[in-house]
Amino acid sequence: MPRAESRTGRGADPKVRKITAAVLSAAVPLTMLAAPPPAAAGTAPAMVVPIQVTGDPAKRFNLVVMGDGYTAADMPAFRADLDRHLNDLWALEPFKSYRSYVNVYAVEITSPESGVSCDPELSAPHRTTPLSMAFRSGCEQDGLQRLLVMDSDAAKTYADLVKGTGAGNPDPGPDPARPRPQGRQRAPSSAA
């Protein structure tokens, strides 16, 4: 199963770890433009919630935010995390200047278990979540502690629930000007 990777910063708030790699959040008051219908992808139910819609998705930068490891009871925490992260995002350039060109959608994915695997340590329980998120390069003994991985096929399936955003971008293939490294690459030990 393909995996997508993202790092969380050193000293990151453990509550934020539940937010996925796709998590850049925007703190606009959580106002829905219309009551979105529930949608399902994979095995877990999900709901698309428009957070900020500034125009036609074909003419905007579309940010799709998904959380993993949030149960139905945890959804208020996901929304609060999303708000907090979006406030941080809108304070930074170029997002501050171009906010009116960004559509933001949340995909609220209901997880059967709260949390993600190997958080905060390898001894932590493995969780069954819709995106299969895990720290430590997928719970590997020698994996980077703050490396967060997930099932990229599942993430794409859920992102594709947001209609009109073009989540199915074609793969441009390898760039001959930039050779790709072979095998798993490790970051310098100071980065872990």
Per-residue model confidence as pLDDT tens digits over 137-177: 667 777 776 677 888 999 999 999 998 886 554 444 444 55
Tokens of 7: 């790092």
CA–CA gap between residue 115 and residue 18 (Å, rounded): 6
Is residue 148 in a domain?
A: no
CA–CA gap between residue 179 and residue 64 (Å, rounded): 29
Is residue 67 in a domain?
A: yes
pLDDT, tens digit, 9 for 90 and up, residues 3-33 = 444 444 434 444 433 333 333 333 233 333 3
Find the domain containing 89 and state its range. 3-112+153-163
Residue 119's pLDDT is 74
Is residue 127 in a domain?
A: no
Is residue 39 in a domain?
A: yes
Is residue 44 in a domain?
A: yes
Write the single-letter amino acid at 120: P
Is residue 143 in a domain?
A: no
Is residue 124 in a domain?
A: no
Number of domains in the chain: 1
Is residue 76 in a domain?
A: yes
